[in-house]
Amino acid sequence: MCGRFASTTSPSQLADYFSVDELAAEGVSENFNVAPTQEVMVVAEDAEHHRVLDAYRWGLVPSWAKDLAIGNKMINARAETVAEKPAYRRAFAKRRCIIPATGFFEWKKLPGQKAKQPYFIHPTGEPVFAFAGLWEFWKGDDDHPGLRSCAIITGEANATVAPIHDRMPVVLPREHWDEWLDPANDDVDALARLLVPMPASGVATYAVSTRVNSPRNNSAENLDRVADPDA
């Protein structure tokens, strides 16, 4: 699962990193504690291979949904079932995206303690993670305008993350970005083979303060290292 992450790289830097053709998310500010239903930066392509960095709501709202609230719980899609689940399979075939992240948070249960220890998990060889994602357009209703929303695909954790949590976001290496983002690519079997854990050497972890437990706390302090009680 991935229920919280950090997005602290500027839109212009991300536009360069992902070689986008259009930057439509200039007003999105850095976020040290991204929570579900908030706006996140997303890289997606249209049928003409026009690559755009824009802001989407985190929590997938299918086009057929009657209520926007359905997206509140649809923040993650499991790699093992994403091609089959009715809420995700159409997006997996046609509307895939990349969700950039500076890193993500996970909580570890410590022996003999009720409270869980949060950890920040970040890339070691790249400036950001390129999370595999899905997106949908919801046309809206009388109370809400239409919106684009997204979900992060999660799979088994690699050896670095597994001691903290058994699942993690699927991270796409650069050589697979074009294949993943191409909306004309509907080879779901080949796409599913991309949904594997990233190499353990590409990830590092450290303990952070429990202030990250509340999405109201949104500052650089969330990423400060603290003493690891499990060390």
Catalytically active residues are 2, 106
E strands, the chain, are 5-7, 22-23, 31-34, 39-45, 51-58, 76-78, 96-101, 103-109, 116-123, 129-138, 147-156, 167-169, 203-207
Strands 103-109 and 39-45: unpaired
Cα–Cα separations (whole angstroms), residue 84 to 65, 179, 212: 18, 20, 34
Contacts with 24 (C-beta within 8 Å, 6 or more apart), sequence order: 52, 53, 54, 55
Structure tokens at 90: 């159409």
Of 201, 12, 9, nearest to 103 by C-alpha is 9
Cα 74 to the chain's mean position, in Å? Answer: 12
